[in-house]
Chains A and B, each alone.
Chain A
């Protein structure tokens, strides 16, 4: 199973190592660095690498590489899933998963890793179990009994995230107004699957704290309209080595709710040197090195549609890009689950006190991409 773990920052420094069996020299990571160098983008590093004596399985999370060393056959997904679980645990414990956070809490991190694997085999990976053994650094956690629903849309894929702070052994059931919408679901292990199969009710005894109760996918037949529309034109001129850009965004089917946190990201072709634009709302930045144009709009005002226009200066002597860049759009709509999924009710059995219940619907753009 998992032999060792190395945490590596974006500069290629190993800042933490943990071994669950005999110690393996960190020189084993050289193979990884080689691949890292070849890949240019950190996302492009193959997650599984083979070296003469070991296999390296890594994930890239929050600008960090979690690199595990394997010696014998083990399902790669097993390791990948575990590494993500480690990252999730850090996130849960420290509210972040960056190098500085991990270095600041190195002893807790080490204890966590010790608890999560025994001899390379997962031992305790549930956040609530771990918290019983190893206390998180701050106990400043607001005590609210809310159940929050977040809907990630565009592909209509959603999650129900729960935050449960109930004492005793509450047995909860949650039902939906329209469970038929759900096409494909996966559950937290606490959910009783048979009950779902027979009655379409989520029945569970929740662990304490935050957890993802369920993720779901809405079948494409019920595809709900995308909440915004985009008018754009991007063109490059052969002659003057310049280009023009014009983007307008307007609301569509938002059911009276405001679109917030609107953001447009454009990956410009290499030849684009600089952008000289004016935004009617929000502000834009263009990063020369990454060729990333980010237009942060904020709230969408339906009366005055946000617009970004201007010219792009291009590198001279370089042929024009053949393909126009695609736009990535981020947005958020509060109080609206665009999938139409509605929680019908939440009941508690097994305990006598009256819990506080609440549902929050949020729609977020997932991978909303406009091909130009």
Chain B
């Protein structure tokens, strides 16, 4: 064998990866700076396919970055800014030490700062890319906007986050792109469809935060720094797409309606504008007057290879969407002071409803409690004493459930003080074989336009039938047992009858269930075929089957739990009825 000896780990995957420490040394950055750079540039470790090869034969746990990523970081102008900042801090410390206050002021004035515009553009070359990655940005901004303005991070950051969040909410209202809302125990989930991309975010319930000590706020702040930049540009573009003015301005008509005196009472001049915006009750100013865009019909271009049925389905979907967007159109809501104002106002406005609240609660109230045109009064207390005729008093869940159901649900279940029906997650799409809670079935029936009461009975029957199916197997087993017993008894009898003259009784023809036999045969065939599978395929098959079985088991468990609960409730009802009668 001629040629040079091939050395190990000098080519191939070992050279494509670099450990974190080596990367840091290559970039000549401290760990916090490296972390910040990675966060801003969106560089993350990669899991190599053959870890041992990459790790040069060692199996020690290490995180690896792609060497290309690190080389790409080498040319980042922000790295120089980091170094400048380091120098700045050093100079400042020195000036403080020497008590040279004028130097301190001068240095502070010339504090080096950096912009992240180019990084946003680089990470998201197209606008759609940015929209796809908006979930975390929104969740983070909404969280930061609820922080108290003390200590944990810069006040400017919090204010900026609040501003961006409000701007985004206003956009969602203006474009009517909200699709789903979900009240979870963690917070409120929203899902909007922005230019065809689903964007989901979560907002916490409005309470003071108990700041945890085991959270590194610097990391969160760095993320927020990037996210605010991203969200700002996204907002700009979104406003532009709707011909809205950016930064948003309240429509001059509505602006006039909001009494100026009220504004000054409520907040300082500098803040009142944001407050008015965040009230979410006013529509926004447009660059061009809205020229009946909504009524413009889209031309239809039949996509090739699409059948007429698909076209129809698409059309229907479009119509349903339009209807969903105008769900609360013409309804006038009033929010009592105990309900969370912002989420409700946001959701109602997103679906075309008008909303108001008590004047003392927040800026931007448009009408009073006494307004006779109010159709829905949202209340979250057990009883409302002086009820005004002509409006529904409802619990807030009605609004959210109606939005998720895409229709205005019957109000009877949501009156104040009534035990509410379960609030279901709109994000769950049940596949075949999954457990579907009965409420969801009812809802699906309602969406199909069937009368829910009849349906429920039928469902009950169906359920019973299903149960029968389940029982069948058990019955078969029990039949077998019975047969065994009978056989035994016969044997005993024959033994006892031995003394008697032998008697022959007509035998019964045993009917063989052909279907069953066939089934058994098929299952045996399958078993035999499984025996012949290759080891790897068998492993995969077993894994898949295990997953399926587990799914079924879980669904059965839920169903059984529900059944037990329902029977318990029924019995309690009976008992209470009896007690009442007695």
The answer to whether A and B come from one shared complex is no
